[in-house]
Amino acid sequence: MTSFSFLRQMLQDVRHQKMRTLLTLFGITWGTVSVALLVSFGEALEKRIRKNQRGLGENIVIAWPARTAMPFEGLGKGRKLRVSEDDIQALRREIPDAVFSGEYERGKSSFRRERVRLTPQMSANTPIFAVMRNIIPAAGGRYLNDVDVDRRRRVIFLGDKLKQDLFHDEDAVGKTVMIDNTPFLVIGVMEKKAQDSSYSGRDQDKAFVPESTYRGLFTERYVDDFIFQARDAAQVPQVTRQVYEVLGRRLKFDPKDKEAIGMWDTTEGEKFFRVFFGVFRAFLGIIGSFTLIVGGIGVSNIMYVVVEERTREIGVKLAVGAKPRFILGQFLVETMTLTAVGGVLGFLITLAVIAVFPAQLDEYVGTPEASAVVILTTAALLGVIGLLAGYFPARRASQLDPVVALKLA
C-alpha cells in the first residue's frame, strides 16, 4: 500500500475518533511546550547572568596589597605592604603573558557642575584598564589614552549614571567639571552596561581620571589595588604565581604568603557558572522530558485502545494477505504523524509565548529565544518518544493471528 493509502486510512480514523485524536494532540503539544520553554528560559537566564558577570571584566584578577602572615628573611609577620607604580612597571616587564594596571581610588572629592554637588567614587588608572574592565565609551567620546597619562592632562571619563546626575540630559563631552575646585574636561561617557558585581561600587557611578594626574594632584605614591589579565584564561594560575614571586622579591615577603596580596580571581566564578549551568540545563531538560514522556505514555495507551477497537479490521487485512510489516507501518505512521502535528503546535505556542514575553524582565531573567539548541533538543526528544509510543501498540497489532483476531472481533 502506498503512503497516500496510509494517509487516507489515518484521516478516516481521525474523523471517527475525534476525541481520541484531540487528547493525543493535547498530550504531545503540552509536552513540547514544556520542554521548549524550560530549555529556552534556562538558556536566557544563563546568558543574562554571564552578561552581568562580565560587566566587571573577563578573566581578570583584582589584587589588594595587605599584610604579611608569615615571617620572611628575619622580617616579622604583620607588615603592611604597599605597591607603587614602579612595582607595577616591574610586573609588566617580567610577566609578558599578562597586562597590568594600577588603580587609585578616592571617594571624598567634591564634584561640582553649576548647582549640582556630588562626592562620587573616583578611579585613577591607565588606558588598558578600560579594556580589562569592559568599559566602553558611548558615541562621541573616548576613554583615557597614553597622551593623557604622559602629559598629566586634567581630563575625566564619567559613568553613565554619574553623567546623568551631573548633566541630566545635556551632552557632557567637552564640558567642564570642577573637582575640589580644579577644572577637568569631560572626554567621554560610559555606554550603559550590565554589571552585577563590583569591588568599590558600580562603574556607572564612578569617574575615571589619568593615574599620573591623580598622583600629582593628591600626592599619592601607592596604589589602592591593581588589576591584571592573562593573555589566556588557562594562564591565570601561572601568572598569579609569578605576581607573588615578583612582588615577593621586591617587597620582601614569602611568595607562598597568599595573605600578603589578597586576590579575587574572577575566572573561578566563570568555572563555577560553567558547571552550575550545565547541571541546571540538564535538570530543566529532564523535567520537561518527563512531561513529554507522560504525553507519550498517553499516546501509547490510546493507541493500544485503537488496536483493540480495530481488531476485526486488522484480522481481515491479515486474512486477505496483508503482511505484518504493513500493519506495523500503518500504526507507526499514524502515531508519528499525530506526534509531528502536536510538536508543531507546541513549537507555535512556544514562539507565541516568547514573542509576548515582557522586555522589562530581560534585566532579571533574560529574554528567551528559540535557538537551534532548543529546537534540536525538543525535536529529538519528540521523535524518540513518538516512535516508542507507537512502536509497541503497532507491534502488538502486527503480531495478531488472523483467525483469533476475527473470533475476538
For residue 173, the 8-state DSSP code is: T
For residue 96, the 8-state DSSP code is: T
20-60 pLDDT, tens per residue?
Answer: 777 777 878 888 888 888 888 888 888 888 888 888 888 89
Q: Are strands 98-106 and 206-210 parallel, antiparallel or unpaired?
A: unpaired
Q: Residue 99: phi, psi to the nearest 5? A: -115, 150
Mean pLDDT of the chain: 86
Percent of the chain with pLDDT over 70: 93
For the chain, domain boundaries: 3-53+271-408, 60-265
Whole-number Å distance between alpha carbons of 305 and 258: 71
* Cα four-point dihedral sign 42, 44, 49, 50: positive
- Contact present, 163 and 132 (Cβ < 8 Å): no
* Predicted model pTM: 0.74
Q: Which helix (H) or strand (E) holds 196?
A: none
- Contact present, 312 and 405 (Cβ < 8 Å): yes
- Average pLDDT for 224-228: 96
2 vs 145, higher pLDDT: 145
244-295 pLDDT, tens per residue?
Answer: 999 999 999 999 999 999 999 998 887 888 888 888 878 877 887 787 787 7
* Cα four-point dihedral sign 249, 254, 258, 260: negative
- Contact present, 72 and 247 (Cβ < 8 Å): no
Question: Would you say residue 360 has pLDDT above 60?
Answer: yes
Whole-number Å distance between alpha carbons of 324 and 204: 72
Whole-number Å distance between alpha carbons of 323 and 68: 86
